[in-house]
Amino acid sequence: MAAFRMLGEKPLKKKLQDEFRFFRNWLDSPLTLGAISPSGPELARRIASFLNVRPDGRYLELGPGTGVVTQAIFDRGITESQLTALEYTTEFCRMLRDRFPGMMTIQGDAYALRQTLEKAIPVQDGMFAGIVSGLPLFTQPVEKRRALILEALDLCEPGANFIQFSYALVPPVKPEPGVLSLDKTGWIFANLPPARVWVYSKPQ
């Protein structure tokens, strides 16, 4: 029993510390975080499940926060060297670099996506096999959300997904025939608050 407690205490302590850091950063900058706590494990797994995993693929995560979805991406079979993370918050960037030293973590504004990435890596259209986003899109005007998703999809390979979660009843950006396709999951009630995943792509 004592051994079990020792094994379980560290993950619990880490989770509580992450919850506290997340909540503190939400208090400091509520518009840069979409929730007061990190995503739950079931939501993280569902998000990662929409990535097409290839050993030669490159992937991008926007707004990884404390790295819950990041870990789910790695659990799916993507390596740290394949994933680039773009995070706005300084504390989260330090945490991500410590936890995932083999992953490139870039600090900056995802809404200026191409320009921000170009400060750290060469950027070209079609370079990513998938993009995952934990950004709080509903804190921005719909025109800014749409511009971000379209720019992100320009950086994706043909047929690759831009994967976004939210707690809202409606999608962050509506589909547009010939321009933007959209699929969605049902509600993931294991997450608090319940969330759903929106999967955007360019029509083929």
Separation of alpha carbons 87 and 13, rounded Å: 23
Separation of alpha carbons 24 and 33, rounded Å: 11
pLDDT of residue 204: 84
DSSP H or E stretch at residue 104: strand 104-107
Return the CATH fold of 39-201: Rossmann fold (3.40.50)
pLDDT of residue 175: 98
Give me the torsion for CA of 51, 55, 57, 61, rounded to 10°.
50
Residuewise pLDDT in 10s, the chain (204 residues): 444 333 445 555 555 554 545 445 444 444 444 454 467 999 999 999 999 999 999 999 999 999 999 999 999 999 999 999 999 999 999 999 999 999 999 999 999 999 999 999 999 999 999 999 999 999 999 999 999 999 999 999 999 999 999 999 999 999 999 999 999 999 999 998 999 999 999 998
pLDDT of residue 11: 59
pLDDT of residue 163: 98
Q: Which residues pair with 16 in a beta bridge?
A: none
Separation of alpha carbons 141 and 144, rounded Å: 5
Separation of alpha carbons 92 and 182, rounded Å: 30
Separation of alpha carbons 204 and 26, rounded Å: 39
| In the chain, domain spans | 39-201
Cβ atoms of 155 and 127 within 8 Å: the answer is yes
Cβ atoms of 69 and 48 within 8 Å: the answer is yes
pLDDT of residue 119: 95
With H, G, I as helix, E, B as strand and everything else as coil, classify residue 198. strand
